[in-house]
């Protein structure tokens, strides 16, 4: 592993921090009006400046990197890789820098997607170097300081142009809340099997509210970073930590006179434990929480739950109870589901379709957010398995970083995520059917995109599934649909994916 200008492995001097474009907008030359504030990039930038670097920013969502003046005037370049499909976007930025004449040793990568390319046990960076030759990776640990959890992005936000901040603040923002989840689901690439730790919620929210006031915003939407919002209500938890964070939100919102609307992820069992406390439930409401994404993965089959190590074999019962409570108490229950884990069968896929349809129809305030599974992603337990490392799908990923686009959570099951053709078509059949149900009811928050295809659309789905998929696409590409066939689907892939809304 190579490190530039600093033995600690972090970039020093004048550093340009770069946020890659949305994966389906790599070749677009106009600003993305749904661009989201690159919170993780600014957070890392603040930590770097505390170590003496001088940081500037470039967001490829809003401006092309090749159009930036004096792009070669920096000592080092930092690129964020926030998720698996962002490996494709980050590689696009890497190649752009190399083409400009930047040396690979000047380029640094960080973020969850990049970290998963390093062997935790040995520190071996072979996978990372295959995709980003000669460049460097910055681990989360190398950025840790005693004030890591209380760091704010206030000073970094001052560097962002007002016209960019206006776009960010019109869209959903990330509110640093907490990280860490007690459970060890084998498909998850987040910080699992760790005790939850809280950020400085008060200071982070204050930063946002001050800018909102400058921009004359009356309300802000947030996705809070908790992996399991209610876990402090479980045995051995500390509800006081959550209670304090909620109190900070209420106080700051009232002080600035700006409404905050928050959504979060949780588990059915922790949600049920959380809401037993009436006073805590009221504070959740008062703090502006309106929607909870409740993971239902595997709930249709106890065998699948066991295989996924979900830790709740009564999940189906708990899901129903959680949805009933959420809807009765003014929250939007979000059906968070992945179709087609390696433990699924055609029978469990059909049961999943039935369960999700039942939830959506029974609870008329609920929202569907479901995706085809991506079992093997950098950072999760499955990625480390020897049989995966020897598979053709793995070899294709490592030979061309652009293929990581097919591991995006919204992407239809494909030849990399589901090498078995029969199962691939089964997964897409149920995922498309469920998406169509949600679109018909007008309660959908997840949107399916088309993967890279080796031949044509017949490798992805049957003719019957395709007709349903066409009906969905009429919402987003009505001019393309009349001439769309399974065979010519690759020809329209990029344009359709550009039109399909982003998932939050």
pLDDT tens for residues 406-427? Answer: 999 999 999 999 999 999 999 9
Quick check: is 112 in a domain? yes
pLDDT of residue 86: 95
Average pLDDT over residues 294-308: 71
**pLDDT at position 77 over 50:** yes
127 vs 138: CA distance, rounded Å: 15
**pLDDT at position 313 over 80:** no
107 vs 502: CA distance, rounded Å: 28
**pLDDT at position 6 over 70:** no
Helix residue spans in 132-238 (DSSP H): 140-143, 154-157, 162-170, 201-214
Quick check: is 366 in a domain? yes
**pLDDT at position 344 over 70:** yes
Average pLDDT over residues 259-263: 98
**pLDDT at position 4 over 80:** no
Q: Which of 382, 407, 385 is nearest to 396 (CA)?
A: 407
Domain residues for the domain of 96 are 14-143
Average pLDDT over residues 37-51: 95
How many domains is the chain partitioned into structurally?
2
Share of the chain above pLDDT 70, in %: 93
Quick check: is 462 in a domain? yes
**pLDDT at position 191 over 90:** no
Of 101, 118, 143, the residue that ends a domain is 143
pLDDT of residue 302: 67
**pLDDT at position 1 over 60:** no
pTM beyond 0.85: the answer is yes
Distances in whole angstroms, Cα of residue 108 to Cα of each of 80, 132, 138, 152: 9, 10, 7, 22
Average pLDDT over residues 147-158: 91
pLDDT of residue 287: 98
Report the 10 Å Cβ neighbour count for 31. Answer: 16
Domain CATH code at residue 86? 3.40.50.280
248 vs 256: CA distance, rounded Å: 12
Quick check: is 167 in a domain? no
Average pLDDT over residues 366-393: 93
- Kindly state the tokens that stand for 414: 């494909």
Of 127, 143, 159, the residue that ends a domain is 143
Report the 10 Å Cβ neighbour count for 69. Answer: 5
pLDDT of residue 504: 67
Average model confidence (pLDDT) for the chain?
91
356 vs 362: CA distance, rounded Å: 10
pLDDT of residue 411: 97
**pLDDT at position 485 over 60:** yes
Report the 10 Å Cβ neighbour count for 464. Answer: 11
Quick check: is 161 in a domain? no
Average pLDDT over residues 248-255: 97
**pLDDT at position 55 over 60:** yes
Quick check: is 266 in a domain? no
Of 125, 143, 161, the residue that ends a domain is 143
Average pLDDT over residues 12-34: 91
pLDDT of residue 7: 45
Quick check: is 217 in a domain? no
Confidence of residue 503 (pLDDT cuts 50, 70, 90): confident
**pLDDT at position 152 over 70:** yes
Quick check: is 196 in a domain? no
């Amino acid at each position: 592993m190579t490190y530039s200008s600093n033995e600690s492995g972090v970039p020093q001097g004048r550093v340009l921090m770069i946020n890659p474009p949305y994966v389906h907008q790599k070749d677009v030359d106009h600003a993305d009006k749904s661009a989201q504030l690159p919170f993780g990039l600014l957070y890392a930038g603040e930590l770097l400046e505390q170590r003496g670097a001088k940081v500037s920013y470039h967001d490829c969502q809003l401006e092309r990197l090749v159009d930036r003046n004096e792009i070669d005037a920096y000592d080092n370049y930092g690129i964020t890789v926030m998720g698996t499909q962002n490996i494709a976007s980050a590689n696009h930025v890497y190649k752009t820098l190399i083409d400009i004449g930047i040396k690979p040793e000047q380029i640094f990568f960080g973020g969850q997607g990049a970290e998963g390319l390093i062997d935790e046990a040995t520190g071996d960076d072979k996978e990372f170097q295959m995709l980003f030759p000669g460049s460097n990776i910055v681990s989360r640990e190398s950025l840790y300081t005693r004030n890591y959890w209380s760091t704010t992005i206030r000073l970094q936000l001052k560097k962002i142009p007002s016209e960019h901040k206006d776009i960010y603040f019109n869209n959903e923002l990330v509110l640093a809340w907490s990280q860490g989840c007690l459970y060890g689901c084998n498909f998850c690439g987040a910080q699992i099997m760790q005790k939850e730790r809280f950020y400085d919620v008060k200071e982070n929210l204050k930063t946002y509210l001050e800018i909102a006031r400058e921009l004359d915003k009356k309300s802000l939407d947030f996705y809070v970073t908790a992996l399991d919002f209610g876990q402090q209500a479980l045995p051995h938890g500390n509800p006081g930590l959550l209670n304090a964070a909620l109190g900070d939100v209420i106080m700051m919102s009232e002080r600035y006179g700006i409404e905050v609307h928050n959504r979060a992820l949780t588990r059915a069992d922790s949600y049920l434990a959380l809401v037993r406390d009436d006073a805590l439930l009221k504070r959740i409401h008062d703090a502006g929480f309106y929607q909870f994404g409740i993971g239902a993965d595997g709930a249709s089959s106890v065998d699948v739950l066991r295989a996924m190590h979900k830790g709740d074999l009564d999940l189906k019962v708990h899901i129903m109870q959680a949805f009933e409570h959420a809807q009765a108490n003014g929250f939007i229950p979000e059906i968070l589901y992945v179709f087609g884990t390696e433990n699924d069968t055609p029978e469990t896929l059909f049961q999943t379709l039935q369960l999700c349809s039942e939830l959506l129809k029974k609870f008329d305030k609920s929202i569907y957010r479901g995706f085809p599974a991506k079992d093997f992603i950098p950072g999760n337990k499955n990625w480390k398995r020897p049989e995966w490392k020897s598979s053709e799908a793995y070899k294709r990923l490592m030979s061309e970083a652009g293929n990581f686009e097919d591991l995006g959570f919204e992407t239809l099951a494909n030849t990399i995520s589901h090498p078995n053709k029969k199962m691939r078509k089964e997964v897409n059949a149920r995922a498309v059917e469920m998406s169509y149900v949600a679109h018909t009811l007008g309660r959908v928050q997840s949107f399916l995109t088309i993967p890279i295809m080796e031949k044509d659309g017949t490798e992805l789905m049957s003719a019957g599934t395709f007709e349903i998929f066409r009906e969905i696409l009429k919402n987003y590409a009505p001019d393309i649909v009349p001439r769309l066939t399974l065979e010519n689907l690759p020809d329209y892939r990029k344009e359709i994916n550009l039109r399909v809304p982003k998932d939050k």
